[in-house]
Amino acid sequence: MTVLIRLGLGLGLGFVVLAPIVVGFVYEKSFDLNTLLNVFVLSMIWMGFCGVFSSLLNYMLPRKRAVAGEVVDDDSDNTGTSSIKKHRISTSGAGTETTVNNNNSDISLGNNSGDDNHSGGGSEVELQIMALGDGNPPDIDEDLHSRQLAVYGRETMRRLFASNVLVSGLQGLGAEIAKNLILAGVKSVTLHDEGTVELWDMSSNFIFSENDVGKNRALASVQKLQELNNAVVISTLTTKLTAEHLSDFQAVVFTDTSFEKAIEFNDYCHSHQPPIAFIKAEVRGLFGSVFCDFGPEFTVFDVDGEEPHTGIIASISNDNPALVSCVDDERLEFQDGDLVVFSEVHGMTELNDGKPRKIKNARPYSFTLEDDTTNFGAYEKGGIVTQVKQPKVLNFKPLREALSDPGDFLLSDFSKFDRPPLLHLAFQALDRFISELKRFPVAGSEEDAQKLISICSSINESMGDGKLEDINPKLLRHFAFGARAVLNPMAAMFGGIVGQEVVKACSGKFHPLFQFFYFDSVESLPAEAPDSSDFKPLNSRYDAQISVFGSKLQKKLEDAVVFMVGSGALGCEFLKNVALMGVSCGNQGKLTITDDDVIEKSNLSRQFLFRDWNIGQAKSTVAASAAQTINPRLHVEALQNRVGPETENVFDDAFWENLSVVINALDNVNARLYVDQRCLYFQKPLLESGTLGAKCNTQMVIPHLTENYGASRDPPEKQAPMCTVHSFPHNIDHCLTWARSEFEGLLEKTPAEVNAFLSNPTEYASAMRNAGDAQARDNLERVLECLERERCETFQDCITWARLRFEDYFVNRVKQLIFTFPEDAATSTGAPFWSAPKRFPRPLQFLAADPGHLYFVMAASILRAETFGIPVPDWAKHPKKLVEAVDKVIVPEFQPQTNVKIETDEKATSLSTASIDDAAVINELIAKIEQSQKSLPPGFRMKPVQFEKDDDTNYHMDLIAGLANMRARNYSIPEVDKLKAKFIAGRIIPAIATSTAMATGLVCLELYKVLDGGHKLEDYRNTFANLALPLFSMAEPVPPKVVKHRDMRWTVWDRWIIKDNPTLRELLQWLREKGLNAYSISCGSCLLYNSMFPRHRERMEKKVVDLAQEVAKVELPPYRRHIDVVVACEDDEDNDIDIPQISIYFR
């Protein structure tokens, strides 16, 4: 319709203006050929103008995309919401299509099966949305969604892209849910809210500003939510919602509706064909609830999202039941009842039929089959066993039935196992309270609290056999006081949970919450109960929070001095949370955030404070500025420093001593350990968290109450032996590890070595001679190759190099390997050499017609050209011309050699072998390199290529995927696509917005406790959660280990401080008075004193700080006021005593 309007207006205006002129020419007396030509030229000019004008109208006419609160509608619908029709995962047929505006493109319905670009263009596009598995869904922007793709996979993402979701209620919880869904990339989100923005909303809703007060919540939300993802259609509904509206959606979420209306809507959704996923979620103060109903029969395609487990078979018995043993390379993760399939089994080939078989008696390295293999062929060798993941069908009950028969509740905290049934009553009682009084209970009102307790008691009495013995009036009192408030940490936590449930409903990925989940964090309340007057509103943006915690805690939050380390996904969420909570927003408060990273496109799918126009800018600066937009009162300083020993001049003693709390938002263990040690040293609380896909964990590190972060560590990841990676791979991970190593060696390290030599040949040669080892010899050989034998001057040279590399990697090396170790080779014990997990390889034969072979040559030659600064001709990317260039390459014949050593020792750490004549070889190589240097053009330098996984135009991942897949073909290992290769070789950490939001919400619930002070160990909670299962496991933190000596006790948190700059003798005497005999004192890695060394007694009268400067060469900049020494002590019975670190102050 818009196209027709534009065309009509353009042509109509053209006719109005042009017609009188043409008529004038026609009636002029001197009408001739020139006149005719003039008319023709004028017509052409005017038609061109009409075309431009028509195009301009494209921007002048109203758009279908909802902006600034406009409603998306189509020609036939004026109900206030977009006309979006059904598509549902539980149906097998195709769903109907929908009119959508995608990135300001006019999109019309049709049956076009061509490719659709999900990220939009600027032209008319025909879009067809089919049921799951049908049609051609929109393309996935892998640069943007790479971390999310690593969690969900392409199929789930495509289902999300075809899903329409309604979010009703745009207070804090609704805003968080909408944010997470928009970042995930659903097709459309419709925002419904009939209410207006109040100052009260500012405590929990990051979208609103104080200028929005009085506006409709949904309309005030559109613009900022749209900025999160332009590919998602966002529309609004501001009128009363009816059940008929719900037919437009795959999932509907209600965050602020009565049970009466919820039951009405749920009944409609449950009985609809196909069913509509229904979620009711509420956050009331420190209490929250979720109810899910995805229909009478909902199919979960993947219950946990984990990769199917596999094992490499060592033997299979001819028995009933058959015993299957696997190699002890890795523990099996199978469980009794799992279904598995077999492949590549030699001898007992009957098992290779692809039929799923059930297992039992699962052990770490074996299991039995519920099959009789007595009459099968005898097992010879080989074989892979792979878990088969089965779909699961869930039968949800509607809310009407589930309220009276809730079934099992999902527990989060086993210390509160009796809490969910009580909260089930409490939320129903609150609903009845609001229904009767038309308002929420007033914070601090004992009368309202008693009224709610009375209603709850009445409901409990009517439950018959399900009646609770104790309804816990004290807990219900807290529930009543905070019932009106939506707190930001609770909204963040439940926004993550509910957002994930919507993804499950739309995709069938992960197990849904079945069906009720209740949670509370009453431990977050102040340790000292506030007076009822403390809950009174102050007409501030924090009134909702004050109604729960009181104004005294609010003041503590505002005056807090906080250090936040990292401003990525966790950091963005934390900044939003603390800004809404009012942390560091007072006159005494300050938040310092640091991050040395810059914004990349892949960050935008979950680091929601960033926009595409921020790409390349400093994360901390942009995030801090965005947080101040959320709350202009936030006092924040953004730095770009990495936190570590090298920046202790920035983050000095005075900085750490002044802090109230440290919040880690890091993505690596080493940085976490450093911050942990600093917090331990300065006795500062540390709030730690992390995510991995749908999993998240939080850890509270509280001075003197809990153990520190470094007290317990995960076991290190198992690394494949070097010989396995280089010669005997048996999975694609080995191939990709090798490919990444070769990439860096060829394109980064070797060019860097060349440049190091060319920059200072004399110094480089001297360094190599001094090293005199196999590594130095290898470095020189690679430099010589680059400058002489494999030097490239034209792009044809690069193609030759790439083609010969193919031959070397995938033909010659394999021929040499199988020549050295033939298929029938045996070990020194007589066992077959090529036994599991080793796979016997086959050399490839280069075929220009094979796209994988040709693409490898193209990527390798382009990157080789880049290192030599050679322009890449356009024809390099055209297969025919590339084949012609490859055909020119002369490939020499290869002959395997005897006496070639191939490393087979799994404990070997280097493939380089030392030789007695290394020194002579090194001298010879240096001479050759110096000779080849003379033929180089003046100023010649190579350009090292640093691996960058997130740029799909740079050919880095193309080469790595090509290297890995060709090697996989050698060893008959299944190949992977470029995206999967990127996940593994790029070591991409799977990440989604929902688990990040949940983790930060949980941490901020602990932040209330930390800044309040006075809480006991049992009040704090560490959490592990897996939103895929879903699983929530909360527990008290572990206390620190206590050391006792005489009447003294200390933990890792204690640090002994000695002032007045003591001498060594005075330090030893100070320890003796505590019954401790020091026999060793060190500073850093240097020994200042040891009782076994007589000469050390001469140091007795020296100041300890002087000894540190003299012996340990400690530098003492002006900001440094003390040194730290480690003392080894014994008691009088010669028992070693671990004492705290000692700090000696000299200023």
Candidates 219, 181, 229; CA nearest to 67 is: 219
Candidates 762, 670, 758, 752; CA nearest to 716 is: 670
Measure the CA–CA gap between 673 and 664, rounded to whole angstroms. 11
Candidates 297, 180, 188, 181; CA nearest to 236 is: 188
| Interstrand relation of 322-326 and 1086-1090 (parallel, antiparallel or unpaired) | unpaired
Measure the CA–CA gap between 602 and 324, rounded to whole angstroms. 44
Measure the CA–CA gap between 1056 and 1043, rounded to whole angstroms. 14
To the query of whether residue 723 is one of the catalytic residues in this protein, the response is yes
**Sheet (strand 287-293) strand order:** 233-237, 188-192, 164-168, 251-254, 277-284, 287-293, 516-520
976 near 732, Cβ under 8 Å?
A: yes
| Interstrand relation of 1048-1050 and 1043-1045 (parallel, antiparallel or unpaired) | antiparallel
| Interstrand relation of 298-300 and 392-394 (parallel, antiparallel or unpaired) | antiparallel
Candidates 163, 13, 9, 156; CA nearest to 100 is: 163
206 near 175, Cβ under 8 Å?
A: yes
748: which DSSP letter?
Answer: I
Exposed/middle/buried for 987, CB within 10 Å: 0-12, 13-18, 19+?
exposed
238 near 220, Cβ under 8 Å?
A: no
Largest CA distance in the chain: 130
Q: Which of 723, 798, 1086, 1129 is catalytic?
A: 723
Measure the CA–CA gap between 383 and 386, rounded to whole angstroms. 10
Q: How far is CA 948 from each of CA 60, 371, 1094, rounded to the nearest angstrom? A: 41, 49, 57
Measure the CA–CA gap between 888 and 799, rounded to whole angstroms. 9
Got the DSSP string for 540-581? STTHHHHHHH-HHHHHHHHT-EEEEE--SHHHHHHHHHHHHH
Measure the CA–CA gap between 153 and 161, rounded to whole angstroms. 13
Got the DSSP string for 24-93? HHHHSTT--HHHHHHHHHHHHHHHHHHHHHHHHHHHHSPPSS--TTPPP--TT--SSS-------TT-SS
Reply yes or no: is the peptide bond before residue 321 cis, omega within 30 of 0: yes
Secondary structure tally for the chain: helices H, strands E = 32, 33
Measure the CA–CA gap between 160 and 118, rounded to whole angstroms. 12
Name the token pair of 232: 């998602």
Exposed/middle/buried for 833, CB within 10 Å: 0-12, 13-18, 19+?
middle
Contacts of 1047-1055 with C-beta under 8 Å, sequence gap 24+, read: 1048/1074, 1050/1139, 1050/1140, 1051/704, 1052/680, 1052/707, 1052/708, 1052/711, 1052/1140, 1053/680, 1053/683, 1053/703, 1053/704, 1053/708, 1054/704, 1054/1140, 1055/681, 1055/683, 1055/1140, 1055/1141, 1055/1142, 1055/1143
CA 285 to chain centre: 29
Candidates 698, 774, 772, 808; CA nearest to 1037 is: 698
Measure the CA–CA gap between 119 and 141, rounded to whole angstroms. 7
Measure the CA–CA gap between 725 and 837, rounded to whole angstroms. 12
Candidates 118, 947, 989, 177; CA nearest to 602 is: 989
Query: Which residues are designated catalytic?
Result: 723
